[in-house]
Amino acid sequence: MPFLVIIALITVTVTIILLLQTPARQRGTIRQLNVQLAEQTRTIADSEFRQGLLFSSNPCAMWIFDCHTLRFLEVNDAAVNTYGYSREEFMGMSVLDIRPEEGVPTFLEAVSERRGGHKHFGIWQHRRKDGSVFPAEVIAFEFHNDGHAERLILAIDVTERCRVEAALRESEASLKALVDNAPFGIQQSLIEENRIKTLNPALCKMLGDYSVEEALQLNIREQVYADPKERDRLIEVLRRGGTIHGWETTLRSRDGSSVPVRITGSLSGGENGPPEVFSAYVEDMTQHSALEQQVRQVQKLEAVGRLAGGMAHDFNNVLVVIKLSTELMLDQVTPESPFSKPLLQISTAADRAAALTRQMLAFGRQQMMQPRIINLNTVVSETTQMLRRIIGEDVQLVTNLSETIENSRLDPDQVAQVILNLAVNARDAMPQGGTLHIETTNANLDEAYTKDHPPVQPGRYVMLAVSDTGTGIDKSILPRIFDPFFTTKELGKGTGLGLSIVYGIVKQSGGYIRVYSEPGHGTTFKLYFPTTTASPTRLTFREVFVRPSGQTLLVVEDDANIRNNVCQCLQQLGYQASQAESGAAALRVCEELEGKIDLALIDLVMAGKRGNELATDLADLYPGMRVLFMSGYTEDSTARREILMRNSPFLQKPFSVADLAKAVQDALASNVMPN
């Protein structure tokens, strides 16, 4: 090795000069020095040999090049093996030849920094003889030989290490992306310091859109937990068991509102080791809680509805008797009679009782709806006249009805009741006056909307919005306003049924209702009803009752009082009326009369054969016979649906003599057969 030879030569020369300058009496010492010199020379030779061995048999590629010409001066066997050039080829090459062209400028720049000593030269792209390129980690040692700057290079192929490092970087990046994009909060917090150590964007958002820097400053106990003691309890449980699973608690959002969450996580460190760290996943349960509340609400209403429905059935039957009997008696007395006034009072009371039953059934969603194709604007326009009277002079009524509104299949009376109930509430919320705004428009609820508003189904709807500029509804009572009997009004001013009726009607119509309210600024109720492409059918009601010409009617009803009452009324109206107490009896009567019955008036709810089953049998046996159903209430939703689908005429109990007369007449005039 030239530089080792240089060092050895310098040492020998220095020793000889020293010997020549030494006096005779010191010759003994010189001999001694000679021995030492011989040893040193041997040592140098040994060292040179070892170092030569280190170079030539090193498993890593090594070479020496001239810093000026950049030519290879020496290469070891490993370099020959690694790069694929023979030693002779190397000797005719420069170090620029073992790197891709694009790497040359950077290399030239680096090599121009001439500093002596060891230098970690970093990782470079090198090229083999076969053209393949690989990453090489290079360590350089610069020295001077005969006035020339030279470099000893050690190059290690780090392809595998780079691959592993890249894979590791990639894995870390995808893990980070997973945490950053996770739909639930992820965090690590220092228990003793009471601070968050690290957290993901979802948790920042959940806590009220803090920046990461702000979140890291939070005092967890006081600023993150709604109840600081809840955190103490959580730590206690963690220290006892090490983990928690689905711990339900409430966090405090930046604006002070509550965020119900479920936490799952574990504790590490502690007991004089590294600091205690709590690693956890935080699930936002806000939507879940809202859904739960909605389900509870629906269940509650359904329970009350079933109860109301059960009562309504019997109640309506009683009312039919009261109503028809009173009217029959009224027919017999002159207006001057002392019975006239009390009879009228009974009749009015029965009407009020009937209205009450209707309301009970409406919020229980059990009412027999009589929907038809309507245009929402028509109902609103027909209602506004009455609304103006109800809301009074201090409240201004503004309507904004979209001209292109689509049709929907609704019971117009029920929609009118919905508008009325909402308007009355609005009026009550504006004791000092204000504006009642009624708006209709088409609404296309897409999947993006319905995902955020379960259980709304995507589709086309007509929207009815009723807004006021009143007191608004406090956040704390908002979840309860649709509850039956929930009212904030003083005794006698409100029953708390208004909104539950609205809710019932909207649900029964296949629609949805949403409330937006800001205390002090007013409230908006938005009602969505499904649309239809069908057009309104013109119902022709005969204004004048035409005296019947001997048609025969059959009244099928299991309640004897009603049966007799109805028959009596029909006879007074001029019809022939037969009666039957059950489906089987009805079939017998028909047989006896050889099917000469024009219309069967059938109660829907009877013991034995159900009303709609009887209608089907009659249709098979006597195709010309018409059917008119009557019912106060039926729990049997299949029967209700069947009737609606058949479009069969239907008479809601309780009814007046006029209602009965009109329904019978219409049914006889209709072309609709029972099947």
Ligand X SMILES: Nc1ncnc2c1ncn2[C@@H]1O[C@H](COP(=O)(O)OP(=O)(O)OP(=O)(O)O)[C@@H](O)[C@H]1O
E strand or H helix at 102: none
Q: Is 435 in the site for ligand X (CB under 6 A)?
A: no
CB 441 within 8 A of CB 463: yes
User: Which stretch, 114-122, 262-270, 465-473, 610-618, contacts ligand X (CB under 6 A)?
Assistant: 465-473
Q: Which of 122, 133, 120, 128 is nearest to 159 (CA)?
A: 133
Closer by beta carbon to Mg ion, 263 or else 418: 418
Per rule CB under 5 A, is residue 498 in the interface with Mg ion?
yes
DSSP string for 407-419: BEEE-HHHHHHHH
- What is the C-alpha separation between 553 and 77, in angstroms, rounded? 118
> Which of ligand X, Mg ion, none interacts with 279 (beta carbon under 5 to 8 A by kind)?
none
Q: Kindly state the smallest distance separating residue 298's Cβ from Mg ion, in Å.
A: 20
Tell whether residue 188 is a contact of ligand X (CB under 6 A): no
425 lies in the site for Mg ion, by CB under 5 A: yes
Tell me how far, at minimum, the Cβ of 333 lies from Mg ion, in Å: 39
> Which one of the spans 421-429, 553-561, 625-633, 659-667 is the region binding ligand X (CB under 6 A)?
421-429
Q: By C-alpha distance, which of 376, 362, 391 is closest to 482?
A: 362
Kindly state the smallest distance separating residue 469's Cβ from ligand X, in Å. Answer: 10
Beta partners for residue 122, in sequence order: 138
Residue 630 to residues 139, 355, 563, 584: CA-CA distances in angstroms? Answer: 101, 17, 12, 18
Which of 107, 141, 143, 486 contacts ligand X by CB under 6 A? 486
Minimum separation from the CB atom of position 652 to ligand X (A): 22
Tell which one of 276, 284, 327, 468 touches ligand X (CB under 6 A): 468
Of 184 and 486, nearer to Mg ion (C-beta) is 486
Query: Based on CB atoms, which residue is closest to ligand X, 421 or 578?
Result: 421
- Evaluated on CA atoms 296, 297, 298, 302, the torsion sign reads positive
Binding residue count for ligand X, defined by CB under 6 A: 21
Cβ-based neighbour number of residue 362 at 10 Å:
26
Closest contact distance (angstroms) between CB of 471 and ligand X is 5
Q: Give the angle subtended at the CA of 644 by the CAs of 643 and 647, to the nearest 5°.
A: 85
28 touches 170 (CB < 8 A): no
Query: For residues 120 and 352, which CB has a smaller minimum distance to ligand X in the complex?
Result: 352
Which distant-in-sequence residues (6+ apart) come within 8 Å of 61 by Cβ? 75, 76, 78, 79, 81, 82, 83, 136, 154, 155, 156, 157
Q: Is 297 in the site for ligand X (CB under 6 A)?
A: no
Contact 11, 44 (CB under 8 A): yes
Q: Does 465 bind ligand X (CB under 6 A)?
A: no
Residues in contact with ligand X, shown as a per-residue x/- string from 495 to 534 under the rule CB under 6 A:
xxxxxx----------------------x-----------
Q: Which residue is nearest to Mg ion (CB)?
A: 498
Q: Which of Mg ion, ligand X, none does residue 208 bind (CB under 5 to 8 Å by kind)? A: none
Task: Say whether residue 487 binds ligand X (CB under 6 A).
Answer: yes
Provide the pairing of β-strand 434-445 with 459-468: antiparallel
Compare residues 231 and 358 and give the one whose CB is closer to ligand X.
358
Binding site for Mg ion (CB under 5 A): 425, 498
Binding site for ligand X (CB under 6 A): 421, 425-426, 429, 468, 470-471, 473, 481, 486-489, 494-500, 523
